[in-house]
Structures are given as structure tokens and as C-alpha cells.
Amino acid sequence: MSPSLRAFFQNDRFARHNGIELLDAGPGWAKAQLAVGDHHLNAANVVHGGALFTLADLVFAVASNSHGRLALGINVSISYLKAARGPLLTAEAQEVACSSKLGTYTMEVRDAAGELVALAQGTVFRKDSPLPA
């Protein structure tokens, strides 16, 4: 992962507050993990949809900003495929299209057994400005 990309996302305080760890990234992709704790659970005692989404959202953000231009999320659709319990979740984003103004990504969230627990698809608007230092 480029030092400037890593440095930029070290400033992602919501991801940090929720224990999301960026593992690696390259042009158009990113990978992260979440060690599930009690504070990631919802009222039904499974991992909260917001936690799964936030994990997917981080790799979406990193992958879409990986070309060095600031990218802002426009929309995301997420499907929940099975109840997620932990102890470790991983997410990976892959670019499926990238034009001068827009980029589209798929995000997969998997549990410790490698099973898919959520699948998301999102689009960013690519600004003309570089990532802030």
C-alpha cells in the first residue's frame, strides 16, 4: 500500500473506534479485518448490520481512493447473506469500473470459515483533487 494512502486512512476515526484494521491495498482493491467483540453485536446477538457495512465501507473507501484522487461515496447496496458471529471478519473490495468521474466497486465480507456473510456494491464520485496530505 502506498504510504500516502495509508497515512490518509490512519485518520479514519470511525473505523478505528470500531476496531477495523486495514490490512493491505493496491490500485483498485483493498482488504481489511474486524475482530468481533461484544460491542459489535446487535439486539439479536449477531454482528450488527452497521458493523458489517462499516467494514465493507472502509475497503470501498480505500480501494476507490487508491488511485490518489479523492473519491466520495454516492451510494452502496448491501445484501446480508447469513448471520455473522465472528470471531474474525474480513472484507475485500474490487474495482469493477473506473472512469474519469465515477468508480464502481464490489465488496465481500467473509467470516472466519471463509463463508460470504455480506455482499455489497458501491459507486463513488471522483473529485479532481488529490488526497489531502
Secondary structure letter of residue 85 according to DSSP: -
Q: Quick one: 27 or 94, whose CB is closer to its own copies?
A: 94
Per-residue contact string for residues 32-71; x = within reach of its own copies by CB under 8 A: ------xxxxxxxx-xxxxx-xx--xx--x--------x-
Cβ–Cβ under 8 Å, residues 2 and 27: no
- State the DSSP H helix or E strand holding residue 104, giving kind and residue range, or none if neither: strand 102-110
Task: Verify binding: residue 88, its own copies, rule CB under 8 A.
Answer: no
Q: What is the 3-state secondary structure (H, E, C) of 4-44?
A: HHHHHHCCCHHHHHCCEEEEEEECCEEEEEEECCHHHECCC
Task: Verify binding: residue 72, its own copies, rule CB under 8 A.
Answer: yes
Q: Quick one: 1 or 41, whose CB is closer to its own copies?
A: 41
Count of positions on this chain that bind its own copies (CB under 8 A)? 55
Q: Quick one: 26 or 127, whose CB is closer to its own copies?
A: 127
